[in-house]
């Protein structure tokens, strides 16, 4: 095991029991964190250790490779010390939920919505957890490794929006389309 940097030792002291492991690889500091009380850990990192910029949130699916199956990956930056830190949070398949960081960093909003959209990992206390890159009717989460790459999704009828101006001709076309698709609305 490579020697840990002073930053990692410091973080390990601060976060205590929630650190599963701390690794240094290719010059990056990586901390594997417990998902229990995740927001509290991040609050400490932000307020007490000076990591003020949340750079990125993403996830990795280690399907049939690793247990627990998912890992949510956070990249944070401490501008004052010019250091980066990567945090990996293992998430099991049967309960894919983690704490949302949106109360700490509002920038986490879009990033977490993307992880939910593409991986199906839920973020508790997220204010508005909707799909973001895909449409609401999409079935499944395409970046999971068990989602086939060439799977076709069914066509969905045009969504009805209340209170909008409706052009008769295009509306009739929409009705025909709905009929042909056998939609039940």
Q: List residues binding other proteins (CB under 8 A).
A: 25-28, 30, 52-56, 58, 60-61, 65, 73, 75, 77, 79, 82, 84, 86, 105-111, 114, 118, 131-135, 142-143, 149, 161, 163-164
Q: How many residues are listed for the chain in this entry?
A: 185
Residue 13 or 129 having the CB closest to other proteins: 129
Reduced to 3 states (helix: H, G, I; strand: E, B; else coil), residue 168 is helix
- Six-digit token string for 121: 């990992």
CA 51 to chain centre: 19
CB of 24 to other proteins, least distance (A): 12
Smallest gap from residue 96 Cβ to other proteins (A): 16
Q: Which is nearer to other proteins, 160 or 176 (CB)?
A: 160
- Least distance in angstroms from the C-beta of 145 to other proteins: 8
| Cβ distance to other proteins smaller for residue 165 or 184 | 165
Q: How far apart are the first and last CA of the chain?
A: 60
Dump the DSSP string for 86-113.
Answer: EEEEEE-SSS-EEE--TTT-TTHHHHHH
CB nearer other proteins, residue 142 or residue 157? 142
Least Å distance, CB 175 to other proteins, is 21
CA distance 139 to 173: 26
What φ, ψ does residue 74 adopt, rounded to 5°? -115, 140
Nearest to 68 by CA among 88, 87, 85, 40: 88
Q: Closest distance between other proteins and the C-beta of residue 20, in Å?
A: 16
Kindly tell me which of 27 and 182 has the beta carbon lying closer to other proteins.
27
Q: How far is the CB of 37 from other proteins (least distance, A)?
A: 22
| β pairing state of 83-91 and 28-33 | parallel
Cβ distance to other proteins smaller for residue 36 or 62? 62
Integer-rounded Cα radius of gyration of the chain: 21
């Amino acid at each position: 095991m490579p020697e840990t940097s002073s930053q990692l030792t410091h973080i390990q002291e601060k976060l205590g029991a929630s650190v599963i492991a701390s690794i240094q690889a290719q010059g990056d500091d990586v901390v594997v964190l417990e998902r229990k009380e995740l927001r509290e850990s991040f609050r400490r990192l932000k307020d007490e250790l000076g990591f003020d910029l949340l750079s990125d949130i993403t996830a990795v699916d280690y399907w049939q490779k690793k247990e627990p199956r998912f890992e949510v990956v956070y990249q944070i930056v401490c501008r004052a010390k010019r250091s980066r830190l990567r945090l990996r949070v293992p998430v099991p398949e049967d309960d894919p939920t983690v704490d949302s960081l949106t109360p700490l960093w509002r920038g986490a909003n879009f990033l977490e919505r993307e992880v939910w959209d593409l991986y199906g990992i839920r973020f508790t206390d997220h204010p508005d957890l909707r799909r973001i890159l895909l449409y609401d009717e999409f079935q499944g989460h395409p970046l999971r490794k068990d989602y086939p790459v060439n799977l076709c999704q069914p066509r969905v009828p045009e969504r009805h929006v209340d209170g909008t101006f409706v052009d008769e001709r295009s509306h009739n076309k929409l009705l025909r389309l709905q009929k042909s698709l056998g939609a039940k609305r």
